[in-house]
């Protein structure tokens, strides 16, 4: 096919319009799905942080926030000390909160809320008191034993 000056074949124009329409349609489809996959990626990353932190809490005794005497058997004294550190001085809350976040290896832009309940004998919250609305939040609840009592640790990260 040869085109002279100012001449165009109708088939060429129709093919070009169909091609451009197809490319625009595909572009909008891809752009529309990106937020969905980004949200899933963020949720998976947050859940991974929750799982890692709580796993270390209930299985490791060597970390600053590791409460275990042995796997899934928690040390009551360590939990009391953690509660005292977390909720001890309200005027120094931000500094303590940031230190705990650093010990947990949470990114600076992340926040957390943790609730520990030992079968009615101890119940405390550490971290932010309220979870902001319209945030992607991942939560996990882990169970262990503390001096023969059922213990739950609920951690939320956003």
Query: Predicted confidence band at 35 (pLDDT cuts at 50, 70, 90)?
Result: confident
Q: Tell me what the mean pLDDT of segment 3-25 comes to.
A: 85
In this prediction the pTM is: 0.73
User: Is residue 78 over pLDDT 70?
Assistant: yes
How many angstroms separate the CA atoms of 124 and 128, rounded? 12
- The neighbouring-strand residues paired with 153 are 116, 142
Percent of the chain with pLDDT over 70: 95
- How many residues appear in the chain? 158
3-state secondary structure of 144: strand
User: Is residue 94 over pLDDT 80?
Assistant: yes
Q: Is the dihedral of CA 33, 35, 39, 44 positive or negative?
A: positive
Instruction: Tell me the C-alpha to C-alpha distance, in Å, between residue 69 and each of 56, 58, 76, 86, 129.
Output: 12, 9, 9, 21, 28
Residue 70, H or E segment: strand 68-70
Q: Tell me what the mean pLDDT of segment 97-108 comes to.
A: 92
84: left (phi over 0), alpha (psi -120 to 50) or beta: alpha
Least confident of 7-16, 73-82, 120-129, 139-148: 7-16
User: Is residue 88 over pLDDT 90?
Assistant: no
What is the average pLDDT score of the chain?
Answer: 90
Angle between helices 76-87 and 93-103 (to 10 degrees): 140
Q: Tell me what the mean pLDDT of segment 120-146 comes to.
A: 91
């Amino acid at each position: 096919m040869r085109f002279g000056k100012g001449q165009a074949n109708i088939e060429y124009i129709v093919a070009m319009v169909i091609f451009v329409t197809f490319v625009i349609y595909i572009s909008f489809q891809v752009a529309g799905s990106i937020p969905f996959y980004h949200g899933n990626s963020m949720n998976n990353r947050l859940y991974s942080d929750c799982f890692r932190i709580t796993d270390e809490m209930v299985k490791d005794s060597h970390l600053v926030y590791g409460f275990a005497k042995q796997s899934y058997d928690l040390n009551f004294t360590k939990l009391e000390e953690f509660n005292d550190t977390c909720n001890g001085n309200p005027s120094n809350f931000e500094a303590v909160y940031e230190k705990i976040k650093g010990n947990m290896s949470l990114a600076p832009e992340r926040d957390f809320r943790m609730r520990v309940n030992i079968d009615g004998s101890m119940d405390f919250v550490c971290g932010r008191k309220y979870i902001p609305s319209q945030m992607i939040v991942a939560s996990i609840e882990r169970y262990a034993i503390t001096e023969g009592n059922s213990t739950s640790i609920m951690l939320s990260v956003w």
